[in-house]
Structure 1
């Protein structure tokens, strides 16, 4: 017969950690996304940048970093690879030369059509309804925002 762990030890069980559930779910997502994004020639972080740019083209580098929670040290090499692939172009703002604007090339715009197959594939792989996934996403975003607010204090 299994011995019941004290409450203090129960809290330290791996399967009781929400951080591990989120972490391992992220890995599962990456495994599902990989073959889909390989067809587009993108890594997952590059896909996120492209999502930002497909929403709004000509975005300041700083804004992309803020939206994706990435610092410039992580974002810059990512953008260099997207530029080398001919998907984006980096230009200096005419109003403020210190500001770098990230824009899509015609090839980057065209890739959006190929990327339209990704969300339905993820939906099918999840075996959830749109409403279920939306509710989960909203809960996770609320949790993320509360944690970020705590760290910012």
Structure 2
């Protein structure tokens, strides 16, 4: 069989991103379990703690979740009394999500999680600066990929029309 080093697992950009994402989510697990929420629910709560009262569409755009994934997640947060969902009075097609008092209070229970995560990385010879530099690079990559995905969606919709 022909050697194709470009197809080796260790030569793929996607693999360390995927594996790092999975392992990072596992590091969050015990902290989020104390709050009674999952990692995707935590992302939604972070977005709401930053800007309360948002449309489902806006939340989905911020946390990169499609409505078919986001809607059940929001229903679970609502059943836990962390958020409430209601139709917009100006546009009934729009569902607005807002924090309940319990959801707002959860913010103060969660406030130490980012520091605990950074601290957990420093046990293994990586500095806080390296973690923050990596985060900045990831956000740059995220922006590039998001822009490319949006362009691709526009091209696909034009092609299919």
Please indicate, yes or no, whether the TM-score normalized by the shorter chain is above 0.5. Answer: yes
Q: How many matched pairs?
A: 147
State whether structure 2 residue 73 is matched by structure 1 residue 78: yes
Where does residue 55 of structure 1 map in the other structure?
50
Of the structure 1 ranges 117-126 and 77-86, higher mean CA displacement relative to structure 2 is found in 117-126
Of the structure 1 ranges 91-100 and 101-110, higher mean CA displacement relative to structure 2 is found in 91-100
Please give the secondary structure, in 2, of the residue aligned with 1:119: helix
State whether structure 2 residue 127 is matched by structure 1 residue 132: no
Unaligned runs of 5+ in 1: 1-5
Aligned-CA RMSD value: 1.4
Unaligned runs of 5+ in 2: 153-161
Query: Using the alignment, how far apart are the partners of 1:93 and 1:146 within structure 2?
Result: 32
**1:101-112 pair list within 5 angstroms:** 101-112=96-107
State whether structure 2 residue 8 is matched by structure 1 residue 18: no
CA offsets per residue over residues 45-95 of structure 1, 9 Å max, x none? 000000000001111111000111111100000000000000000011111
The structure whose RCO (Cα within 8 Å, separation 6+) is larger is: 1
Where does residue 144 of structure 1 map in the other structure?
142
Please give the secondary structure, in 1, of the residue aligned with 2:35: coil
Query: Using the alignment, how far apart are the partners of 2:146 and 2:99 within structure 1?
Result: 30
Query: Using the alignment, how far apart are the partners of 2:61 and 2:87 within structure 1?
Result: 19
Where does residue 45 of structure 1 map in the other structure?
40
